[in-house]
Amino acid sequence: MKSKYAIALSLIALTPVLTYADAYKQNALCVSGESKLCSTMPVDLPDLTVAQGYAPNTNSTTPSSNVAQDNFDWFSWQMFIALNWPADSQGQPLPNPIGSKPEAPRVWQSWSSPNQVFPGNGLNTSSCAAGKKGLVLFRNTKFSTHSFIEPFTKWPLIDQAGNYVVYDIRMNTIEITYLQNNNLLTKAGQQQFTGTYDFPTGINSTQGATEIKTAWRILTDSSSFANYYTTPATIVVSKDNSVTGQEMCLDVTVGLVGMHIMQKITNPGQFSDFWVWATF
């Protein structure tokens, strides 16, 4: 069984073929080309042709030689804005400017977590967080302290107040539907799968498979709330990690401190096997 892995495009060698102006048409704050923030999610990089041999960098003084990297930067920023746009209860972006509804949920918050998608991987009815509304961060109940470990190190990420940074993962409906249609929601179904993982790619106005991972810190000083996007949350500490030997649920306010965004695209063609990976 073959698998098409996610990679960070910032690590790929590229060569610009078209000029900046002739390549990715949406080189603006909004996909429409307008120089203003908007809630439209970018789904592809049409008319951008790149070849091997160019090492991306952040030297903004020579945009003509950095066309490929610049365009992925625009694409990443547009994704970040669209996903963090204020939304209604159905996850649809509100028509107001992005800063007009600070108390509203964000678009991505209507997406499902793996704990909701994969059977037996969520909270059971006896958990102290069962029935809780709002953000529930309980990955440590399934993965123990492994969910806290920083990449490439054996150490967790701990903030200045001495608290662990906690994480949440969300998947869009395109990705979930692909998993459902290919019987990939269970271990047995994954073991029986003999094809190649090929998640849908974005094209025209159709979004491809998309995942996000957010990082949150527990806010202990209300005077710092204005520095973050905040939301009420329930932190679940499993009995295995509790000093009392009993599961604990902590009702706290958390602040968003990081976000990974991964999306499948169709163009440029040589990247359609992979994912655009942006980190904020």
| DSSP string for 115-180 | HHHSTT-S--TTSTTTT--SEEE-HHHHHGGGGGBPTTSSSB-B-TTSPBPEEEEEE-HHHHHHHH
Which of these ranges, 53-57, 177-181, 214-218, 224-228, has the smallest mean pLDDT? Answer: 53-57
In this prediction the pTM is: 0.81
Distance, in Å, from the CA atom of 28 to the CA atom of 110, rounded to the nearest integer, reads 27
Lowest mean pLDDT among 115-124, 134-143, 218-227: 134-143
Q: Indicate the pLDDT class of residue 82, thresholds 50, 70 and 90.
A: very high
pLDDT score, position 264: 96
Q: How far apart are alpha carbons 49 and 266 in whole angstroms? A: 12
Closest by CA position to 109, among listed 81, 129, 85? 85
Domain ranges within the chain, ordered by starting residue:
110-262
Task: Determine the pLDDT at residue 216.
Answer: 92
In whole angstroms, give the CA distance from residue 204 to residue 19. 22
- The arithmetic mean of pLDDT across residues 157-162, rounded, is 84
Question: What is the share, in percent, of the chain residues with pLDDT greater than 70?
Answer: 76
Give the residue with greater pLDDT, 62 vs 103: 103
**Cα–Cα dist 79/183, whole Å:** 29
Q: Render pLDDT for 173-188 as a digit per residue (tens, 0 to 9).
A: 999 999 999 999 999 9
98-to-82, 226, 274 alpha-carbon distances in Å: 9, 16, 30
pLDDT band of 269, cuts 50, 70, 90: confident
